[in-house]
Structure 1
Amino acid sequence: MFVKFGGMNASRMARLREFEEESCRLKKMYAEERLKAETFRRRWPKMVKTSRRREMALQAVCSGRVNIK
């Protein structure tokens, strides 16, 4: 039997649900990254020179405290 929901069959509804779940997951990831960036920006204001910020970022990545993937 061919089941329809608002003009869509069951497989399309399942696919739509998967897209909605992925969208929700990506939005959450984005919000978390924005929060990290904001926290970092507030902790290390622009009083620190660019070269020093680059140096601190490199140290954080090398020590494993920050993941850039």
Structure 2
Amino acid sequence: MLIYRFLTGEDDASFCHKVTKALSEGWQLHGSPTYAYDAVAKKMKCGQAVTRVARDQPYDPNKKLVDF
């Protein structure tokens, strides 16, 4: 089963650390990152999709994606 997550955050080092942590846990980048201006917060926001294969596990919507 292919698991999908979309990581988001402010355009700062903590977002890069979030993506790096996901990669170190076996997630792979999926597509290009996104970058948009949040007019309410007056800050740039980033997003990056990541995927990972979870073998021999049925999908459970009550389970956190990081626990697959």
Which TM-score bucket, shorter chain as reference? Answer: under 0.3
Q: TM-score, normalization: structure 2? A: 0.28
* Greater strand content: 2
* Greater relative contact order structure (CA < 8 Å, 6+ sep): 2
Q: Specify the structure having the higher radius of gyration (Cα).
A: 1
Q: Which has the higher helix share?
A: 1
